Structures are given as structure tokens and as C-alpha cells.
Amino acid sequence: MKNVGYYNGVIGPIEQMTIPMDDRAVYFGDGVYDATYAANRIIFEADAHIARFFRSAQALRIAPPVTPEALKSELQRCVELIDSAGEVQVYFQCTRGTALRSHPFPEGAANLLITVRELPLTPLSQKGRAILVEDTRYLHCNIKTINLLPNVMANQRAKEAGCCEAILHRGERVTECSHSNVHILKDGVFHTAPTDHLILPGITRAHLLRVCERLGIPSVEAPFTVEELLSADEVLVSSAGMLGLGICEVDGRSVGGRAPDLLAALQRAMVDDFCRETGYRLPVLD
């Protein structure tokens, strides 16, 4: 199959799949999701993404219709069915179920949706540009819900400004980005926001922290400000599809560029880890 859609055990090409009109996703965005990548038909950091998915579901009192082990094998099944053995995105979502529109939780089982499609990881060889956007989201940003409207609006503003990401801030404090986490390098130290309710605890962020430890790069998990971001030695963003993309411009102002070797070392280690786990040669640094 050129791409794979899955809904409660039914499988077909994504464009041909349909879901019930009263899936709770439609009226309420009442669901959680997670996303990672596979290459060589091996899902990268599968256990960490599945564990976060179950944590998000538990936070919203949604009971996924499968165990973590069963979810892993359903994801693997979908990855086996796509034609491509290259870089593919693996997306999975669970909504609270299907019922006529009514706010209280419905009776009955939750719905599981999976998509697998070809999507290359973001090349890291060129830096990206970003804009700053006030973070007006609610206060449960640690839960990976499918309520992403402020993220969508911020991301579109970035796109319209010719940028790859919108860096969110609440007043002076930088939180994260529209679809990634943001970090800075300053005087040889890796700084990233703490995993409180204002950011999504990124799996790639956690991986970057492990890489820092391995490489002997000190790291600090504490809030940092817009001013500190703008005067950082390097600014980088991370997600499952961006394993540490350097940022060269924020709101038209040039940023970073003062610790290229440190940034390159982090990127190299991240890419090496991806290649080691999947056995796939990732061309993102070429």
C-alpha cells in the first residue's frame, strides 16, 4: 500500500478510510495522539512514544481499546503494510468513543486510529527561520491532545512569514513551539524548559538530554526568556521529525551561529542514534 490507514482494526489506504460522524474527535477534539517515525520498518523510540500516549490518555480518563503491547504490534503491522521501507511517519490517535453529541463521557469503547505515510525527516544541514508568537494555549500543554487549534494558527503564521516554526512564549518566558520543543546553547550549556504543564514533554527533547549527558555537555532544565533566546549561542528545535534543527533567524533578527561545533555534535549524535536503532542511513545531515 502506498500509505496505510487503520481504524479500530479496519485497514485501507488513508484516502479511502472513513470514520463515524459522531466519533468524539469531530465534536469535541476529545482524544489524544502521538507520532514518531519508522525507517527500515523499525519504529524509532516506539516504547517511549507509546508510554507517553498512555499517560496522555490517562490524564484525560480515556481508556485506549488496546494494551501498550497490542498497540505496538498494531503499529508494526501497519508499518509492514506500507510499500516504503524508507522514512515514514507513524501517527496514532485514540478518541473517547462514538456517541451522539453530549458532553459527558459516553458508554462504550474508545476508538483507535493509525496512519502510516511516507514523510522524510527534516534535513538538518540548513538552519531554519522562526517567528515569536504569544502562547495563548490552555494550561495542560503536557497532555498530547488533538485540540491543536492555537498550534495550527501559530504554525500557519510561521508558514506565511516564510518560516519553519513559531516559537511560543508566555510573556518573557519561552515555552515551546507550535509542533516542537525549543532549546538554547549558551556558554557550552544546553538549556531547555522544564517539563511542567506549559510544554509537551518531547521524546526528542528527552533524547537530546541523554545525548548531552553522553557527550559531557552540561544541561539545565529551567525556564529561559525571550531575551536569552535571542542572545543564545545557538537555538535549536526538536521533534520526532526534526532531530535538532538549528535556527538562524527569529522575527527577522539573526540568532545563534556562535557554537556551530557543539550544535553539529548534538545533531550527529541524534542522527547516529536513529541510524543505530533503525539500521537505516538517514541522509538529513548531508
What are the catalytic residues?
Answer: 144
145: phi then psi, degrees, rounded to nearest 5: -90, 165
128: phi then psi, degrees, rounded to nearest 5: -110, 165
CA atoms within 13 A on the CB side of 116: 27
Which residue type does 116 have?
A: V
CB atoms within 10 A of CB 133: 22
Q: C-alpha cell of 277?
A: 536503532
107: phi then psi, degrees, rounded to nearest 5: -75, 165
C-alpha–C-alpha distance, residues 106 and 71, integer Å: 22
Beta bridge partners of 94: 32, 112
CB atoms within 10 A of CB 108: 11
Residue with cell string 529551567: 222
C-alpha–C-alpha distance, residues 134 and 176, integer Å: 11
Report yes or no: 73 and 120 within 8 Å, Cβ to Cβ. no
> 97 or 166, CB closer to ligand PLP?
166
Which residues bind to ligand PLP, rule: CB under 6 A? 35, 151, 176, 179-181, 200, 202-205, 238-240
